[in-house]
Amino acid sequence: MKYIVKKGDTLYKIANRFGLTVNGILALNPQLEKDDYLYSGQIINLADSNLMEYSAQLGDTIYAIAEKFDLRIDHLLKANPDISNPDRITIGQTIYIPKSISSEIVQTNQEYSYEDLTTSIEALKTKYPFIHTEIIGSSVMGKPIYALRLGRGEKEVFYSGNWHANEYLTGQLLMKFVEDYAKAYSQNRTLRGYDINYLYHHTSIWIVPMVNPDGTELVIEGILPSHPYYQTVLDLNYGSKNFKGWTANIRGVDLNHQWPADWEEENERSPQVPSPRKYGGTQPLTEPETIAVYEFTRKHHFRMVLAFHSQGQVIYWGFKGMEPPESKKIVNRFAVLTGYLTERTAYSGAGFKDWFIQEYRKPGFTIEVGIGTNPLPVTQFSQIYRENLTLLLEAPLL
């Protein structure tokens, strides 16, 4: 079958949607390479052996069909791009049903984009209305930055991810945790042996899964001339349209080098102009994304913060001796739970956890998940989730 690429599509997402493999798609499209970006309107060939055909019945709508086959609306619509009005399905119309789509809300065998995040949040709120969400600010390009809260207890902790554009697996990790926690609470069962009902009533886990939505979109989708930062981004990337190594926000500022904690010292050894990596800005806290997290943190009384990055399988836990004594005990426990190494001080400063430790003298941790080159392959997700799930559950109790 012929498939018309939609905005946000990647080879992994299309393969997941239709029950195919990336290699199978590439075999039918020799003009494509595995790391190529796909663009809206592009037509590619797909094998149709994994699609089931359904003949629409009297009274069917796309919503009723999705419910019948336990599918998400967006997945069903993307499998049927010719449907312009979901409320108008004619009797006998052929609807393609993708067989392999998981009923899980957060998909973990594909890249995790800002569109995936917003779709996941809406679906999770509908299914689990006890999840609290709020918008804490906006990105350079105006994308809302979301915070989610699990629980209603007084003990507050804060998890954040996807600070760097090509580390989107960390946001995916946190959102999968949100889904599994919510499912366990709604079913009144434990998760990894932890009493979720107790966690819910005694702790509040705040999560900002995607600090850097603009940069993440750039890494996953690439860029077109219509993009308002097209020429700027190309110039910063030395003319290359491959953005897999991009970590900064859309203006070329590294959001984890933006914090007033040895910023001047870090600035001396970092790029002095906007760059795909490591440029800390003209001064601390210039970017709307970092300002949003700064103001959000100041509003709360977090006992601990965990900032998730990739890669290295290591946990950084100190900053210039300002960390409290309990940080050492906590990081040793984290090491047992994850199997990760621990390092007191990272080679660079001006990070979020550095500022948090300096400002509050409370435990702060940078957790580098996975191993390899960013963006980490989606095939690592399951292992990374297994390594970190218990940590995510236990941290609020420490």
Query: Which residues have a catalytic role annotated?
Result: 368
- Return the half-sphere exposure (C-beta side, CA atoms, 13 A cut-off) of residue 304: 25
Within a 10 A sphere around the Cβ of 63, how many other Cβ atoms? 13
Which uninterrupted H or E stretch holds 331?
helix 326-338
Q: Which residues of 268-293 are buried (b: 16+ CB within 10 A; e: fewer)?
A: eebbeebbbbbbbbeebbebbbbebb
Q: What are phi and psi of 338, to 5 degrees?
A: -105, -25
Return the bridge partners of 310, or none: 369
In terms of phi and psi (left: phi > 0; alpha: psi -120 to 50; beta: otherwise), the region of 295 is alpha
3-state secondary structure of 84: coil
* 318's tokens: 């100190």
In sequence order, what are the residues at sequence separation of 6 or more whose Cβ sits closer than 8 angstroms to the Cβ of residue 23? none
Task: Give start and end residues of each alpha helix (H) in 20-108.
Answer: 22-28, 62-68, 73-79
